[in-house]
Amino acid sequence: MDKISYDTVDEIVHKAMLPNGLTVYIVPKRNYSKTYGVFMTNYGSIDRKFVPIGEKEPIVVPDGIAHFLEHKLFEKETYDVFSTFLRQGASPNAFTSFTKTAYLFSATENMTENVETLLDFVQDPYFSDESVEKEKGIIAQEIKMYNDLPDWQALMGTIRNMYEKHPVRIDIAGTVESIGEITKEHLYTCYETFYHPANMVLFVVGNVDPEQLYERIEQNQQAKSFPEKQTVKRYMPEEREKVYRSDVTIHLPVQVPKVAIGIKGKIREQHGEEMIREECIQSILLDYFFAESGLYYEQLYAEGLIDQSFSYSSTVEQSFQFALLQSNTNNVTSFQDRMQDLFQQISDHAIEESLFLTMKRKQIGEYIRSFNSLEFIANQYAQYQFHGIDLFKIPDIIASITLDEVEQYVKQWITNDNVTVCKVMQE
């Protein structure tokens, strides 16, 4: 295994690539009692059009299939995955995002056994017609539950406003109608295409011996056979720069209306440092203007336009990106108008160097504090490495961002055509 040292954050990562293409990362944390493992594939809900392995022509699969597949991998013909983990003192879970699917566990004992269980259940698919039909009812209930959540509907409503064709506009779980089309053949096709070890990462962090653990992982994988690695051909539709819709209202039984504002990023495929650099610049600017210590937060709060629910975030992926600001507010129109006025000011605003440095230090500090969380390290490191980004180098990247760089970015960040509003209100 290669040993990578990070002096800035005092971390050591052991890395190796197995002959089947699986990349393994192990981070020893001797002072921790807990160990956390994640087995992640570079496959998410947006991957709906692709060329299956062994085929020549692209297909389009039903929406929500990545999430459906995540559920079904826990079901086995001869054993219960959850019972196995629990018997070994571990707590398992999984998640599907727009771009990734991950299977994970946390435990304080039987680390090697739990890592092998994680590998074994994900690499042993079992789907039957009967179990697929049964799962449709379970996931349909989950979809209906999310349809009633104001925060989730505000997020998806804003994304649908921004994107006309990109599959990020489709709910991760799909719709009741789309999951009704899923068959076991669909599941096997997606599994065989996207769950090859070469398209996956295993990351383990905690109180483990890297060499001993890696030896067991290596033995586990050598005992299994996989087809030759092939590059997956994925298709994403062309998307215009401007937002699809500027405004939408969703009616739900909410006590206080919620307003979400999206800033659609430029459409371009990014990799590596360029991608994380843009995300960090956006985060610095959001902090600069809208953090509690920023320029505008106190004004908005004093005017009664926002409350403690106010939040903001930046999302930068290879094929889509956006910033999101949202708050509960009893003054929907006034909040919307005020934010529009502030956005016009932002484009021409001269960034104060002292406040810029404060926000940059804040972001570096937040990253370094996050390294105390095993879950954060594993999930973020695994996700970023698919894009050629090293999580432990991000504090250095943030430190290298210059005032001139941010000033140039803010001039083109917000335009009349790339801002949209989603309101969630009582009927």
pLDDT number for residue 59: 97
* For residues 53-60, average pLDDT: 94
* For residues 31-37, average pLDDT: 94
CA–CA distance from 206 to each of 23, 25, 119, 218, 244 (Å)?
Answer: 18, 12, 17, 19, 45
* For the chain, percent of residues with pLDDT exceeding 70: 100
* For residues 108-114, average pLDDT: 95
Kindly indicate the confidence band of residue 54, based on its pLDDT and cuts at 50, 70 and 90: confident
CA angle 290, 302, 339 (to 5 degrees): 45
Kindly indicate the confidence band of residue 229, based on its pLDDT and cuts at 50, 70 and 90: confident
Catalogue the E-assigned strands of 142-246. 200-206, 233-234
Kindly indicate the confidence band of residue 43, based on its pLDDT and cuts at 50, 70 and 90: very high
* For residues 197-223, average pLDDT: 97
Q: What whole-number distance in Å separates Cα of residue 313 and Cα of residue 257?
A: 20
* For residues 388-392, average pLDDT: 94
Q: What whole-number distance in Å separates Cα of residue 150 and Cα of residue 259?
A: 10
Q: What whole-number distance in Å separates Cα of residue 8 and Cα of residue 371?
A: 12
DSSP 255: S
Q: Is the separation of the CB atoms in 118 and 200 below 8 Å?
A: no
Q: What whole-number distance in Å separates Cα of residue 20 and Cα of residue 166?
A: 32
Domains of the chain from N-terminus onward: 2-234 (3.30.830.10), 247-425 (3.30.830.10)
Write the CB contacts of 330 (distance below 8 Å, at least 6 apart in sequence): 256, 257, 304
* For residues 149-155, average pLDDT: 96
Phi, psi at residue 380, to the nearest 5°?
-75, -40
Pairing of strands 258-264, 247-251: unpaired
Judged against a pLDDT cut of 80, whether residue 103 lies above it is answered with yes
| Torsion sign, CA atoms 274, 275, 279, 280 | negative
Judged against a pLDDT cut of 80, whether residue 314 lies above it is answered with yes
Q: Which residue has the tokens 């921004």?
A: 162
* For residues 195-201, average pLDDT: 97
- The per-residue pLDDT for range 262-291, each reduced to its tens digit, is 999 987 776 788 899 999 999 999 999 999
Phi, psi at residue 30, to the nearest 5°?
-65, -25
pLDDT number for residue 158: 98
Judged against a pLDDT cut of 80, whether residue 257 lies above it is answered with yes
Find the distance separating the first CA and the last CA of the chain, reported in whole Å: 60
Active site residues: 70
Q: Is the pTM of this model over 0.85?
A: yes
Sheet (strand 49-51) strand order: 59-60, 49-51, 233-234
